[in-house]
Amino acid sequence: MQSADRSAGRAEPPPAGAETPYLELLARGASADAYEQPVLLARAEGRPAEWIAALQRAKPLALRVRSELEGRRRREAELSALFETAHDLAGLRDLDAVLQAIVQRARSLLGTDVAYLSLNDPARGDTYMRVTEGSVAARFQQLRLGMGEGLGGLVAQTARPYVTDDYFKDDRFQHTLTIDAGVRDEGLVAILGVPLTLGHHVIGVLFAADRRARVFEREQIALLGSFAALAAAAIDTANLLAETRSALAGLERANEIIQDRSGVIERASDVHDRLAELVLRGGGVHDVAAAVAEVLDGTVEFTEAAAAPAEALEASRAEGHAVRYEDDWIAAVAAGGELLGALVLRGHPGLDPVDQRTLERAAMVTSLLLLARRSAAEAEQRVRGELLDDLLDARDRDPRLLRERAARLHADLDAVHVVLAARLEGDAPDADQEADARRRLAAAASHLAATRHGLAAARDGGTVLLLPLGPGDTATELARRAARHLGTAVHAPVTVGASAPAENLATRPDTVATAYSEARRCLDALRLLGRSGDGAAAEDFGFLGLLLAGDRDIPGFVDRTIGQVVAYDRRRGTELLRTLDAYFACGMSPARTKDELHVHVNTVAQRLERVGRLLGDDWQSPARALEIQLALRLHRLSARH
């Protein structure tokens, strides 16, 4: 009988070869319209009904695979463009060529008619067009915008992205005859502008524009912002590269004048070639240090700024040269006034000027690599944070688009997730150090989310994470592991509160926001209970978990507390629940309980012994007894409905 039931529950296998047309369509990258043809063709050929039914079942699966492939190709194209631009930056020879490549790739990936870049002119107090791609109007290519004039002038003035789907109908910025005439000559309608910033200073604006009305999506704004970050880094490093070219020219002149230094010059040329090769193949800072160490016949290490001798490091940054410190040489790795670390040549006090310059050049290359990779990492972190912000705040997002955005980040919104609220413990001495600590926590959370195929964003003075729940895992275990991981990463205690497992994140708009509120209540409870630096979920707080949980899971609490007794009564027809009620009502006195139930005292003892075997030996301890009485009352109240 069971075998027959299983056979009846199995679906008939599709006819052999029914899925072949869709595999062929996927293989050649056919359009979505082409997926209608196999069913129409099968009907025209008079195929059996089961064959046509199999094709109809296969079609949505094939379309889903096609959509997934297209999303991945699009994300791969975006990341590839960012990395290619980063490589262009690392091997920068011509600033105009790199900026031109940036606007070309921005135009291609955003699918706009025009992309262009303007730079600020501090002397004249305005911003001017530097590079254009797709522009056809000479007047537009020669525009200069005063601060606050036009969309670009507003971006340059406020350091914030601005987007308009119809330029001439938008009154948020100041229209001028000159700017409007240039925009009209070019025929632009929809314009997106993002600032190019170095530190807190805006140096220009990167634009993408269409000659028709268009709405730019959040991810497109973020992508253009990533290109803007790379463009700013290219401009900032142009002077450093010019200095490198000058140094190479000086070495060539020295080779002509001082023939006896040919060996030293060869070493400098060798390290230049090695560094160029390292950059082109995507090497890291430690690879640069190893290459320089081999050329200089010494030990070269990259260290964080905090680990290097402070006085020597500051002197190297201020002078722009490597400086001697005891028996070592220190070359600051810096960009835009920011200290990123140092290259340290160990135990090599006698360093000639050419080898010193080699160490300095290696420090410049190291700074370029760090800037390029930081830009790529910040772009990825920003995209993850924006998606989580949308899940928390936006109630009318298209579930399909949310899933596609998550898939590009290797996240699956259809899986079971847990929302974690994390906060750094301890008071910082000042506001700057507190902000730095929060940035470190956000960076560590973003790294954890990326490695766990989840999402992370800074929020409410802390960090919120959305992580998938693995097989056999619990919200409590996930919270505790996250607290340990984040605490180790930032070298300070981190408290983490977790929500109950949540599902249907894309289709139920309030799920993530509700789970986040529950996680924050757990976080606050941990801190109030003096458990800072720990992680927990609502289920860890016993009946207090009813107050912390977002959905007030009363059936779950009752089941966890007395579920085995309820199940035993249901199976055996016993009266253990009634006996427990009477026992607690009679002050836990077996003698009074037997009078209340009108049974022998031995019957009461036997029933209580059975309860002990089901609930554990400590069921009469004060804490357990309190939870059991609460569960009994909740069970009794719920049974009345």
pLDDT digits (tens, 9 = 90+) for 248-300: 777 677 566 555 555 555 665 666 666 666 665 666 677 777 777 777 777 88
Cα 64 to chain centroid, rounded:
25
Q: What is the largest CA-CA distance in the chain?
A: 116
Contacts for 527-534 with beta carbons within 8 Å, 24 or more apart? 527/423, 527/425, 527/495, 531/495, 532/425, 532/493, 532/495, 533/425, 533/483, 533/487, 533/493, 533/494, 533/495, 534/480, 534/483, 534/495, 534/496
The pairing of beta strand 494-498 with beta strand 535-537: parallel
374 pLDDT band, cuts 50/70/90, is: low
As a whole number of angstroms, the distance between CA 48 and CA 453 comes to 44
Please state the rounded mean pLDDT for residues 346-368.
75
pLDDT at residue 158 is higher than 80: yes
The domains of the chain, with CATH numbers, are 92-244 (3.30.450.40), 282-376 (3.30.450.40), 394-547 (3.30.70.270), 554-639 (1.10.10.2840)
What was the pLDDT predicted at 10? 45
- For tokens 């290519």, the residue is 141
DSSP state of 260: G
d(CA 147, CA 182) in angstroms, rounded, equals 17
DSSP state of 29: T
pTM listed for this prediction: 0.38
pLDDT in tens, 401-435: 888 887 887 888 888 999 998 988 877 677 777 77
Find residue 422's DSSP bridge partners: 463, 496
Rounded mean pLDDT of 597-602? 86
pLDDT (tens digit per residue) in 534-559: 888 877 765 555 444 444 556 776 77
